[in-house]
Chains A and B, each alone.
Chain A
Amino acid sequence: MTNSIAEVKDADVIFVIGSNTTENHPVIGAQMKQAKAQGAKLIVADPRKIDLANDSDVFLQIKPGTNIALLNSMMNVIIEEGLEDKKYIAERTEDYEELVKLVKAYTPEKIGEICEIDPEDIRKAARIYAKGDKSGIYYAMGITQHKKGTHGVMAVSNLALLCGNIGKESAGVNPLRGQNNVQGACDMGGLPADYPGYQKVFKPEIQEKFEKTWNTKLSPKVGLTIPEVIHGAEEGSVNFLYIMGENPMISDPDINHVKKALDNVDFLVVQDIFLTETAERADVVLPAASFAEKEGTFTNSERRIQRVRKAVEAPGEAKPDWVILMDIMNRLGYDKKYSSPSEIMDEIASVTPQYGGISYDRISKIGLQWPCPSKSHPGTKYLHKGVFARGKGLFMPQEYVGSVESVDSEYPYIMTTGRVLYHYHSRSMTGRVEGLNKKAPVSFIEINPATANRLNIEDGEKVKVTSRRGTITTMAKITDIIGEDTVFIPFHYADGAANVLTGTELDPIAKIPELKVTAVRIEKIL
């Protein structure tokens, strides 16, 4: 997030696109509703009539995969009606003319047809967004899990730049991170091209810096992303795989393909707190401590580094992940002992510019937000104040291109996926909490009443759902939350797993799979 979570409450306009905030980030969802109650305007764009849509001033029930068309069209209206922030554009941005040229063709009439919404609603949304003094955009995987996911993010950023909403309190471009420490895992270099702090592995001066600090030779070759690893494992170019705290047998696209890949590696190590569907396929399973059994830090969506503290002992011989990793590293001949996570954080601070000022002493009561480059730096509430990290804000206009996956007579419906309030990712934790399971016990497919009627399917009935990759059986949930040509399946469940159906088509830039658009057919089980 460019901005902080507490700033949500003071926004004039909140534009939620591709985020079911009240179910996936409930405490942010509540703060959006507080803002609304104080007079903020709310725009919601989503293929489903999510809870926040009921509170919205404009709800745009777009066809999955048409975000860029919608965003470009909103910019078309803003420019057409002269609502852009001219001063900001002149002073703080570049390549504006490129944007003007590109969005000219995106008239609400034309785009209304593509997105399957009323053109007047596009105009209304554009005006509300542009007229707000502090307009914040909040998005999640609904923007990114597409073939053109990165372009979707650029379109969001273009809209924010157009109205001068980056570098301003209670505004900004705010991706809501789905997991407790997904921000931190990225910050720490859990990425194939990045050392901690997004320092690139292929830059010689960076390589040299880390070789010196870590006292070893390092590779300048960019590594493989998860989908590339799975692919490599299947075809035999990846032979050893170590998976820590992750369950690709549920969360990755095309599970049948993942299964083949995991079974094809020479050696699979899985380190987790439960014997997950992924761990079951491992050669060695290492028992880890849960968050309540160790010291450490998580970095939240607003870049705040906060403490995690040990409350109880880990069961049996389970060990904190950092101890296991250190043990293995030392046994592989890289000799380095850490006495505590605090000492590891000191090393992180010494090599990661954004974390330079972080130490356990400083974050014992309230966490600090990066960038926090020095011990006296107070942390950063919102980014790009006064000047952008790169100097000027660059418009990156992008054309709308349809999803790769398309419907035909055999697979006539678009399936989109997501989470429900009561579960978290692959349910390895929430599936073991009685009350949560009681509230959301089984996989289901949301089907519009008209569609269900056509297919002669009743609420609660078991149905067969088939895509070009596979078939699952799940329970029909008949609801007008969803449009007639779209269906929704939460991806949490191993039984009736949505990701058996999804495809491995990737965004070529971010390598994110096109999980939000899958063509399916639905059949009654006779």
Chain B
Amino acid sequence: MDTVIIKINDERVEVPNDFTILQAAKKMGIDIPTLCYDERLESHAACRMCVVEVEGARNLQTSCSLKVADGMEIKTHSERVIQARKDILDLLWANHPNDCLTCEKSGECKLQEYCYKYDVKETTFEGKRKNYEIDDSSPFFYNNQNKCINCGKCVRVCSELQHTNAIGFSERGFNTHVSTPFEIGIDNSVCVSCGNCVSVCPVGALMPKSKEKFRLWETKKVRTTCSYCGVGCQMDLLVKDNKVVGVQPANGPSNNGLLCVKGKFGFNFINHPDRLNKPLIKKDGQFVESSWEEAYGLIVEKVNNIKSEKGSEVFAGFTSARCTNEENYLFQKLFRAGIGTNSVDHCARL
């Protein structure tokens, strides 16, 4: 691969010639702020937060879209750049509800994070404010356009990655907002509820409907594999007080940061009150709670009695395509080595 040599913040670096400035900076460990950037999507260069100064260029350049060129000299945090970013945040804040105290996104909101980093405490602009009705038609998430910053990530994920095209930009200028065609509402649209738009929203515009109140900083993230179909999507379970309160997609080899509706929103069975929590033994046609010892004792007694009376071939077990490899291994070992039959199968055919 051909490489070029550039200078970022006076430091020389060699990078592939198809890199953007943003990628080159990332490689050097320099953090350039972005709101509309997602490495899986075509560069959009809409939010302008990633602007940098390129020697010789008259205007500030968007680092997410501009490719590197040999000899380029770039400043990522010059005074001019910082002022530009402050102005952008100031403009965004001019039309954003100042409700971080109660906003569910607080703590993981990019706008909040950058306003803090760039010391934007309040807006200097007075003017019209957006006033949209919240679309809460989806059982899974809200679309609150009063908080939208028009970065377009949701629209692009829906069209470029998910290819559902349920949402798009409606109207123009100040009235530009993300909606379904003819404002029919998410639930009446072609939306497949994958929630990939929700997962990329940098602010509180697209938010999961949660049964629990939690702040991101109160949760721990546990990387795991989805328990539904065989795609093996990687995801993070958000856990607060021994409860799974949310799911975020992870960038696994098979899912590339995407999930479907079941993976993203189908986790409430974990904490469901119907969960079995004690062994049950049927006595006179009714289930009675028992101790583990009693349940184990009964199983062992039955196995031994039936085995001595009829041999091993009258035993059979269905192992499970939903359990782990380790559990499937032990199940077949229990039947083969513990009981003495190969009658072990599972629902691969069903």
**B254 CB contacts on chain A under 8 angstroms:** 4-6, 27-28, 300-302, 304
**A181 CB contacts on chain B under 8 angstroms:** 230, 320-325, 328
Cα A187 to Cα B327 with chains together (Å): 12
Which of B194, B229, B262 is most buried by chain A, counting CB atoms within 10 A of its CB? B229
CB distance from B206 to the nearest CB of A (A): 15
Number of inter-chain CB pairs below 8 Å: 468
Cα A316 to Cα B306 with chains together (Å): 31
Cα A183 to Cα B348 with chains together (Å): 8
Interface size on B, residues (CB 8 A): 107
Cα A218 to Cα B335 with chains together (Å): 10
**B300 CB contacts on chain A under 8 angstroms:** 328, 331-332
The proximity string for A residues 241-265 relative to B, scoring 1 for CB distances below 8 Å and 0 otherwise, is: 1111110100110000000000000
CB distance from B333 to the nearest CB of A (A): 7
Contact flag A182-B332 (CB < 8 Å), given A329-B338, A332-B300: no
Beta-carbon contact of B279 and A287 below 8 Å: yes
Q: Which of B236-261 contact A (CB under 8 A)?
A: 237, 239, 242-244, 252-256, 258-261
The proximity string for B residues 55-88 relative to A, scoring 1 for CB distances below 8 Å and 0 otherwise, is: 0000000000000000000000000000000000
**B278 CB contacts on chain A under 8 angstroms:** 287, 316-317
**A322 CB contacts on chain B under 8 angstroms:** 324, 326-327, 330
State which of A36, A222, A226, A433 has its C-beta within 8 Å of the C-beta of B318: A226
Secondary structure at the B interface, as helix, strand, loop or mixed, is: mixed
Interface size on A, residues (CB 8 A): 147
CB distance from A390 to the nearest CB of B (A): 22
State which of A182, A219, A269, A310 has its C-beta within 8 Å of the C-beta of B222: A310
Tell me, yes or no, whether A288 is within 8 Å of chain B by CB. Answer: yes
List 7 A-B pairs, Cβ < 8 Å: A181-B325, A183-B230, A300-B254, A321-B320, A325-B327, A424-B262, A511-B349
The 10 closest A-B pairs by CB, nearest first: A316-B277, A300-B232, A296-B324, A245-B320, A177-B230, A223-B342, A223-B343, A26-B260, A435-B139, A33-B163
Chain A positions near chain B (C-beta within 8 angstroms): 4-6, 22, 24-28, 30-31, 33-34, 36-37, 55, 144-145, 176-193, 195-196, 201, 210, 214, 216-219, 221-226, 229, 232-233, 237-246, 248, 251-252, 266-267, 269, 272-275, 279, 282-288, 290-294, 296-302, 304-313, 315-322, 325-329, 331-334, 338, 341, 344-345, 347-348, 366-367, 421-422, 424, 428-430, 432-436, 438-439, 510-513, 515
In addition to A189-B332, A327-B292, A328-B300, 15 A-B residue pairs with Cβ atoms within 8 Å of each other are A25-B229, A180-B229, A181-B328, A186-B348, A190-B319, A192-B343, A219-B342, A223-B345, A225-B345, A238-B315, A240-B316, A274-B272, A285-B276, A298-B232, A433-B266
